[in-house]
Amino acid sequence: MSRFSVFILIFASVMFLAASAVAQQNPAPVATTPAATSAAPATPVQSSNDAAQKAGATSASTNDPDQKPAAEKPPAGTQSPEATVPTTTVYPEPKQQQYLAPELVPEPLPKNKVALIGGVVKSIDQVRNRMTLQIFGAKKMNLIFDGRTHFDRNGVETNQLAVKTGDRVYVDTQLANGKIFARNVHLRTAEGIASASGQVIAYYPKTGEVSMRDNISKRPVNFRVTQSTVIKTKDADGTPALLQPNALISVRLNAAAGSRSVANEIDVLASPGAQFTFYGTLSHLDLRSGMLAVDNKSDNRIYDIRFVPAQIGMTDALTIGADVAVVATFNGENYTAKSVTVNQAAKAANPE
Protein backbone atom coordinates (compact mmCIF):
# COMPACT_ATOMS: atom_id res chain seq x y z
CA MET A 1 0.00 0.00 0.00
CA SER A 2 1.27 3.34 -0.90
CA ARG A 3 1.62 6.16 1.45
CA PHE A 4 -1.15 8.03 -0.26
CA SER A 5 -3.71 5.35 0.45
CA VAL A 6 -2.75 5.17 4.09
CA PHE A 7 -3.15 8.88 4.35
CA ILE A 8 -6.70 8.77 2.90
CA LEU A 9 -7.80 6.03 5.28
CA ILE A 10 -6.51 7.92 8.30
CA PHE A 11 -8.24 11.12 7.17
CA ALA A 12 -11.61 9.37 6.75
CA SER A 13 -11.40 7.84 10.24
CA VAL A 14 -10.65 11.22 11.80
CA MET A 15 -13.60 12.81 10.05
CA PHE A 16 -15.95 10.05 11.18
CA LEU A 17 -14.87 10.40 14.81
CA ALA A 18 -15.30 14.17 14.64
CA ALA A 19 -18.82 13.87 13.26
CA SER A 20 -19.76 11.42 16.04
CA ALA A 21 -18.48 13.79 18.69
CA VAL A 22 -20.49 16.68 17.29
CA ALA A 23 -23.66 14.55 17.19
CA GLN A 24 -23.30 13.65 20.87
CA GLN A 25 -22.89 17.26 21.91
CA ASN A 26 -26.09 18.50 19.99
CA PRO A 27 -28.90 15.84 20.45
CA ALA A 28 -32.05 15.90 18.24
CA PRO A 29 -35.13 17.77 19.65
CA VAL A 30 -37.74 15.51 21.49
CA ALA A 31 -41.53 16.00 20.72
CA THR A 32 -43.41 17.26 23.83
CA THR A 33 -47.11 16.48 24.70
CA PRO A 34 -49.41 19.50 24.37
CA ALA A 35 -51.46 20.75 27.33
CA ALA A 36 -54.64 18.85 28.26
CA THR A 37 -56.76 21.92 27.68
CA SER A 38 -55.79 22.23 24.00
CA ALA A 39 -56.50 19.63 21.29
CA ALA A 40 -53.50 18.49 19.27
CA PRO A 41 -53.99 18.71 15.56
CA ALA A 42 -54.05 15.39 13.81
CA THR A 43 -50.97 14.52 11.86
CA PRO A 44 -51.26 12.96 8.44
CA VAL A 45 -50.24 9.65 9.92
CA GLN A 46 -52.93 9.75 12.57
CA SER A 47 -55.63 10.73 10.05
CA SER A 48 -54.72 7.81 7.89
CA ASN A 49 -54.84 5.50 10.93
CA ASP A 50 -58.33 6.78 11.92
CA ALA A 51 -59.62 6.24 8.41
CA ALA A 52 -58.29 2.71 8.48
CA GLN A 53 -60.04 2.01 11.81
CA LYS A 54 -63.36 3.35 10.47
CA ALA A 55 -63.02 1.28 7.35
CA GLY A 56 -62.35 -1.79 9.51
CA ALA A 57 -65.45 -1.11 11.67
CA THR A 58 -67.60 -0.72 8.58
CA SER A 59 -66.36 -3.98 7.13
CA ALA A 60 -66.92 -5.71 10.48
CA SER A 61 -70.52 -4.52 10.70
CA THR A 62 -71.14 -5.62 7.11
CA ASN A 63 -69.82 -9.11 7.80
CA ASP A 64 -71.95 -9.51 11.03
CA PRO A 65 -75.42 -10.90 10.01
CA ASP A 66 -77.06 -9.88 13.35
CA GLN A 67 -75.89 -6.32 13.13
CA LYS A 68 -78.59 -3.91 11.82
CA PRO A 69 -77.47 -1.10 9.54
CA ALA A 70 -77.57 2.33 11.11
CA ALA A 71 -80.52 4.47 10.07
CA GLU A 72 -79.56 7.17 7.71
CA LYS A 73 -80.56 10.64 8.75
CA PRO A 74 -82.65 12.53 6.19
CA PRO A 75 -81.20 15.68 4.82
CA ALA A 76 -81.97 18.91 6.63
CA GLY A 77 -85.32 20.46 5.68
CA THR A 78 -87.06 17.18 4.72
CA GLN A 79 -89.65 15.07 6.72
CA SER A 80 -89.48 11.34 7.30
CA PRO A 81 -92.28 9.12 5.79
CA GLU A 82 -93.50 8.24 9.34
CA ALA A 83 -94.12 11.92 10.08
CA THR A 84 -96.49 12.28 7.12
CA VAL A 85 -98.79 9.35 8.20
CA PRO A 86 -102.04 10.70 9.83
CA THR A 87 -102.81 9.54 13.38
CA THR A 88 -106.06 9.26 15.35
CA THR A 89 -106.36 10.26 18.99
CA VAL A 90 -109.21 8.69 21.03
CA TYR A 91 -110.37 10.76 24.01
CA PRO A 92 -112.48 9.28 26.88
CA GLU A 93 -116.21 9.96 26.75
CA PRO A 94 -117.32 12.74 29.07
CA LYS A 95 -119.51 11.75 32.00
CA GLN A 96 -123.18 12.50 31.59
CA GLN A 97 -124.31 15.33 33.76
CA GLN A 98 -127.08 14.69 36.24
CA TYR A 99 -129.23 17.78 36.21
CA LEU A 100 -131.22 16.70 39.27
CA ALA A 101 -129.63 16.28 42.66
CA PRO A 102 -129.53 12.63 43.83
CA GLU A 103 -131.97 13.37 46.64
CA LEU A 104 -134.49 14.78 44.12
CA VAL A 105 -134.54 11.68 41.89
CA PRO A 106 -137.33 9.39 43.17
CA GLU A 107 -136.45 5.77 43.78
CA PRO A 108 -138.58 2.88 42.51
CA LEU A 109 -141.64 2.15 44.60
CA PRO A 110 -140.87 -0.25 47.45
CA LYS A 111 -142.07 -3.83 47.20
CA ASN A 112 -143.12 -4.02 50.84
CA LYS A 113 -146.61 -4.96 51.91
CA VAL A 114 -149.30 -2.29 51.59
CA ALA A 115 -151.46 -1.34 54.58
CA LEU A 116 -154.69 0.63 54.16
CA ILE A 117 -155.42 3.23 56.81
CA GLY A 118 -158.13 5.85 57.12
CA GLY A 119 -158.39 9.10 58.96
CA VAL A 120 -158.83 12.85 58.89
CA VAL A 121 -156.12 15.18 57.58
CA LYS A 122 -154.85 17.29 60.49
CA SER A 123 -152.16 19.10 58.51
CA ILE A 124 -150.50 18.93 55.11
CA ASP A 125 -147.25 20.54 53.93
CA GLN A 126 -147.36 20.97 50.16
CA VAL A 127 -143.71 22.09 50.06
CA ARG A 128 -142.04 19.37 52.11
CA ASN A 129 -144.58 16.73 50.98
CA ARG A 130 -145.67 15.77 54.47
CA MET A 131 -149.08 14.99 55.90
CA THR A 132 -150.41 14.23 59.38
CA LEU A 133 -153.48 12.03 59.78
CA GLN A 134 -155.71 11.52 62.78
CA ILE A 135 -156.29 7.80 62.39
CA PHE A 136 -159.81 6.59 63.11
CA GLY A 137 -159.79 5.16 66.62
CA ALA A 138 -156.03 5.62 67.00
CA LYS A 139 -153.31 8.22 67.36
CA LYS A 140 -151.87 10.61 64.82
CA MET A 141 -149.59 9.35 62.06
CA ASN A 142 -147.05 11.25 59.96
CA LEU A 143 -146.86 10.36 56.27
CA ILE A 144 -144.64 11.41 53.37
CA PHE A 145 -145.53 11.53 49.69
CA ASP A 146 -143.89 12.57 46.40
CA GLY A 147 -144.38 12.40 42.65
CA ARG A 148 -144.93 8.64 42.79
CA THR A 149 -148.04 9.05 44.96
CA HIS A 150 -151.42 8.81 43.20
CA PHE A 151 -154.31 10.98 44.39
CA ASP A 152 -157.98 10.56 43.54
CA ARG A 153 -161.06 12.49 44.62
CA ASN A 154 -164.20 10.38 44.73
CA GLY A 155 -162.63 8.04 42.17
CA VAL A 156 -161.42 10.82 39.84
CA GLU A 157 -157.65 11.28 39.53
CA THR A 158 -156.34 14.55 40.97
CA ASN A 159 -153.18 15.85 42.69
CA GLN A 160 -152.00 16.70 46.18
CA LEU A 161 -153.42 20.23 45.99
CA ALA A 162 -156.91 18.75 46.29
CA VAL A 163 -156.19 17.52 49.83
CA LYS A 164 -157.14 20.04 52.53
CA THR A 165 -157.05 20.04 56.30
CA GLY A 166 -160.12 18.28 57.67
CA ASP A 167 -160.62 16.02 54.64
CA ARG A 168 -161.38 12.36 55.16
CA VAL A 169 -158.90 10.16 53.30
CA TYR A 170 -157.95 6.52 52.93
CA VAL A 171 -154.26 5.89 52.27
CA ASP A 172 -152.33 2.87 50.97
CA THR A 173 -149.13 3.03 53.01
CA GLN A 174 -145.73 1.34 52.81
CA LEU A 175 -142.58 1.48 54.88
CA ALA A 176 -139.79 3.17 52.89
CA ASN A 177 -136.39 4.09 54.38
CA GLY A 178 -137.79 4.02 57.89
CA LYS A 179 -140.69 6.35 57.07
CA ILE A 180 -144.35 5.73 56.23
CA PHE A 181 -144.83 6.44 52.54
CA ALA A 182 -148.27 7.19 51.02
CA ARG A 183 -148.57 5.20 47.81
CA ASN A 184 -152.23 6.02 47.05
CA VAL A 185 -154.40 8.69 48.67
CA HIS A 186 -158.16 8.31 48.23
CA LEU A 187 -160.04 11.49 49.09
CA ARG A 188 -163.70 11.15 50.07
CA THR A 189 -165.83 14.29 50.25
CA ALA A 190 -169.29 14.83 51.72
CA GLU A 191 -170.89 14.78 48.28
CA GLY A 192 -170.47 12.04 45.71
CA ILE A 193 -170.14 8.27 45.65
CA ALA A 194 -168.26 6.59 48.50
CA SER A 195 -167.50 2.94 49.16
CA ALA A 196 -167.26 1.20 52.48
CA SER A 197 -167.18 -2.34 53.78
CA GLY A 198 -167.71 -3.90 57.15
CA GLN A 199 -169.96 -5.99 59.35
CA VAL A 200 -173.63 -5.35 59.96
CA ILE A 201 -174.41 -4.29 63.52
CA ALA A 202 -178.16 -3.88 63.14
CA TYR A 203 -180.85 -3.46 60.51
CA TYR A 204 -184.23 -1.82 61.15
CA PRO A 205 -186.73 -2.90 58.49
CA LYS A 206 -189.36 -0.26 59.41
CA THR A 207 -187.07 2.71 58.80
CA GLY A 208 -184.56 1.06 56.50
CA GLU A 209 -181.73 2.17 58.76
CA VAL A 210 -178.53 0.10 58.71
CA SER A 211 -175.65 0.39 61.14
CA MET A 212 -172.35 -1.12 59.97
CA ARG A 213 -168.94 -1.40 61.67
CA ASP A 214 -166.39 -0.05 59.20
CA ASN A 215 -163.40 -2.35 58.60
CA ILE A 216 -160.93 0.55 58.54
CA SER A 217 -162.13 2.98 61.19
CA LYS A 218 -163.79 0.32 63.39
CA ARG A 219 -166.54 2.90 63.96
CA PRO A 220 -170.23 2.62 63.12
CA VAL A 221 -171.32 3.88 59.70
CA ASN A 222 -175.03 4.59 59.35
CA PHE A 223 -176.91 4.66 56.07
CA ARG A 224 -180.40 4.06 54.73
CA VAL A 225 -181.83 1.40 52.43
CA THR A 226 -184.58 2.47 50.01
CA GLN A 227 -186.61 0.75 47.33
CA SER A 228 -184.03 1.79 44.75
CA THR A 229 -181.17 0.12 46.66
CA VAL A 230 -179.77 -2.90 44.79
CA ILE A 231 -178.85 -5.86 47.02
CA LYS A 232 -176.74 -8.70 45.60
CA THR A 233 -175.25 -11.90 46.93
CA LYS A 234 -172.90 -14.17 44.96
CA ASP A 235 -173.84 -12.38 41.72
CA ALA A 236 -177.53 -13.01 42.38
CA ASP A 237 -180.32 -10.72 43.51
CA GLY A 238 -180.96 -10.53 47.24
CA THR A 239 -183.35 -8.97 49.72
CA PRO A 240 -182.91 -6.77 52.81
CA ALA A 241 -183.49 -9.92 54.88
CA LEU A 242 -179.85 -10.83 54.16
CA LEU A 243 -178.70 -7.85 56.25
CA GLN A 244 -178.43 -9.96 59.40
CA PRO A 245 -176.21 -9.02 62.33
CA ASN A 246 -172.55 -9.98 61.73
CA ALA A 247 -173.11 -10.28 57.97
CA LEU A 248 -170.16 -9.03 55.89
CA ILE A 249 -171.21 -6.44 53.31
CA SER A 250 -169.74 -3.95 50.87
CA VAL A 251 -171.79 -0.84 50.16
CA ARG A 252 -171.70 2.08 47.73
CA LEU A 253 -173.15 5.20 49.29
CA ASN A 254 -174.57 8.34 47.73
CA ALA A 255 -173.53 10.88 50.34
CA ALA A 256 -175.76 13.91 49.82
CA ALA A 257 -175.00 17.07 51.73
CA GLY A 258 -177.43 17.80 54.57
CA SER A 259 -179.02 14.35 54.61
CA ARG A 260 -178.23 10.82 55.74
CA SER A 261 -176.26 8.65 53.30
CA VAL A 262 -178.33 6.45 51.04
CA ALA A 263 -177.08 3.06 49.86
CA ASN A 264 -177.08 2.70 46.09
CA GLU A 265 -175.79 -0.86 46.06
CA ILE A 266 -175.09 -3.47 48.76
CA ASP A 267 -173.10 -6.63 48.12
CA VAL A 268 -173.63 -9.27 50.82
CA LEU A 269 -170.29 -11.05 51.02
CA ALA A 270 -171.13 -13.53 53.79
CA SER A 271 -174.07 -14.24 56.07
CA PRO A 272 -173.80 -16.21 59.32
CA GLY A 273 -174.16 -19.91 58.61
CA ALA A 274 -173.46 -19.54 54.90
CA GLN A 275 -171.08 -21.95 53.23
CA PHE A 276 -168.34 -20.86 50.83
CA THR A 277 -165.80 -22.57 48.61
CA PHE A 278 -162.40 -20.97 48.12
CA TYR A 279 -160.15 -21.90 45.19
CA GLY A 280 -156.56 -20.73 45.15
CA THR A 281 -153.00 -21.11 46.38
CA LEU A 282 -152.26 -22.06 49.97
CA SER A 283 -150.17 -19.11 51.19
CA HIS A 284 -150.02 -19.90 54.93
CA LEU A 285 -150.29 -23.06 57.05
CA ASP A 286 -149.91 -23.24 60.84
CA LEU A 287 -150.74 -26.65 62.33
CA ARG A 288 -150.19 -25.50 65.91
CA SER A 289 -152.72 -22.65 65.79
CA GLY A 290 -154.96 -24.37 63.25
CA MET A 291 -154.92 -21.50 60.75
CA LEU A 292 -154.44 -21.48 56.99
CA ALA A 293 -154.70 -18.78 54.34
CA VAL A 294 -155.91 -19.10 50.77
CA ASP A 295 -155.25 -16.60 47.97
CA ASN A 296 -158.72 -16.81 46.41
CA LYS A 297 -158.64 -16.62 42.61
CA SER A 298 -162.19 -15.30 42.15
CA ASP A 299 -161.63 -11.95 43.90
CA ASN A 300 -157.81 -11.94 44.41
CA ARG A 301 -158.23 -11.68 48.17
CA ILE A 302 -156.53 -13.67 50.92
CA TYR A 303 -158.85 -15.37 53.41
CA ASP A 304 -157.80 -16.65 56.82
CA ILE A 305 -159.58 -19.92 57.59
CA ARG A 306 -159.52 -21.90 60.81
CA PHE A 307 -159.32 -25.69 60.67
CA VAL A 308 -159.03 -28.79 62.83
CA PRO A 309 -156.36 -31.15 61.42
CA ALA A 310 -158.28 -34.29 62.40
CA GLN A 311 -161.43 -33.13 60.61
CA ILE A 312 -159.96 -32.07 57.25
CA GLY A 313 -157.74 -35.13 56.74
CA MET A 314 -154.17 -33.86 56.63
CA THR A 315 -151.95 -35.21 53.83
CA ASP A 316 -148.31 -34.74 52.88
CA ALA A 317 -149.41 -32.82 49.77
CA LEU A 318 -150.94 -30.06 51.89
CA THR A 319 -148.01 -27.64 51.84
CA ILE A 320 -147.56 -23.95 51.16
CA GLY A 321 -147.81 -23.30 47.43
CA ALA A 322 -150.28 -26.09 46.73
CA ASP A 323 -153.43 -25.39 44.71
CA VAL A 324 -156.34 -26.18 47.04
CA ALA A 325 -160.13 -26.02 47.30
CA VAL A 326 -161.44 -25.22 50.77
CA VAL A 327 -165.08 -25.54 51.79
CA ALA A 328 -165.71 -23.33 54.83
CA THR A 329 -168.60 -22.00 56.88
CA PHE A 330 -168.91 -18.42 58.09
CA ASN A 331 -170.08 -18.15 61.70
CA GLY A 332 -170.30 -14.37 61.90
CA GLU A 333 -166.72 -13.89 63.09
CA ASN A 334 -164.48 -16.13 61.00
CA TYR A 335 -164.40 -18.96 58.49
CA THR A 336 -164.04 -22.58 59.59
CA ALA A 337 -162.90 -25.23 57.12
CA LYS A 338 -165.06 -28.31 56.64
CA SER A 339 -162.85 -29.92 53.98
CA VAL A 340 -159.58 -29.18 52.18
CA THR A 341 -158.79 -30.76 48.82
CA VAL A 342 -155.35 -30.53 47.17
CA ASN A 343 -155.87 -30.08 43.43
CA GLN A 344 -152.18 -29.73 42.58
CA ALA A 345 -149.14 -30.20 44.78
CA ALA A 346 -146.68 -27.38 45.26
CA LYS A 347 -143.85 -27.18 42.76
CA ALA A 348 -140.42 -28.13 44.08
CA ALA A 349 -138.03 -25.22 44.41
CA ASN A 350 -135.22 -25.13 41.86
CA PRO A 351 -131.82 -25.69 43.52
CA GLU A 352 -129.44 -22.80 42.99
**Per-residue pLDDT reduced to its tens digit, 217-250:** 677 888 889 888 989 887 678 888 889 999 999 8
Q: Which of 13-22, 79-88, 106-115, 309-318 has the lowest mean pLDDT?
A: 79-88
Domain 113-188 has CATH 2.40.50.320: yes
Report the CATH fold assignment for 275-344. OB fold (Dihydrolipoamide Acetyltransferase, E2P) (2.40.50)
∠ CA 144-147-148 to the nearest 5 degrees? 80
As a whole number of angstroms, the distance between CA 104 and CA 93 comes to 26
Q: Which of 23-37, 167-181, 254-268, 322-336 has the lowest mean pLDDT?
A: 23-37
Give the CATH superfamily of 192-270.
Answer: Copper binding periplasmic protein CusF (2.40.50.320)
Residue 260 identity (one-letter amino acid): R
**Per-residue pLDDT reduced to its tens digit, 34-45:** 444 444 444 444
* pLDDT at site 274: 86
Identify whether the C-beta of residue 118 lies closer than 8 Å to the C-beta of residue 168.
yes
Asked whether the domain spanning 275-344 has the same topology as the one spanning 192-270, the reply is yes
Average pLDDT of the residues in 18-42: 53
Identify whether the C-beta of residue 324 lies closer than 8 Å to the C-beta of residue 318.
yes
As a three-state string, the secondary structure of the chain is: CCHHHHHHHHHHHHHHHHHHHHHHHCCCCCCCCCCCCCCCCCCHHHHHHHHHHHHHHHHHHHHCCCCCCCCCCCCCCCCCHHHHCCCCCCCCCCCCCCCCCHHHCCCCCCCCCCEEEEEEEEEEECCCCEEEEEECCCCEEEEECCCCCEEEECCEEECHHHCCCCCEEEEEEEEECCEEEEEEEEEECCCEEEEEEEEEEEEECCCCEEEEEECCCCCEEEEECCCCCEEEECCEECCHHHCCCCCEEEEEEEECCCCCCEEEEEEEEECCCCEEEEEEEEEEEECCCCEEEEEECCCCEEEEEECCHHHHCCCCCCCCCCEEEEEEEECCCCEEEEEEEEEECCCCCCCC
Identify whether the C-beta of residue 239 lies closer than 8 Å to the C-beta of residue 225.
no
pLDDT at 158 over 60: yes
Q: Where along the chain do its domains lie?
A: 113-188, 192-270, 275-344
The mean of the pLDDT values for the chain is 76
pTM exceeds 0.75, yes or no: no
pLDDT at 89 over 50: yes
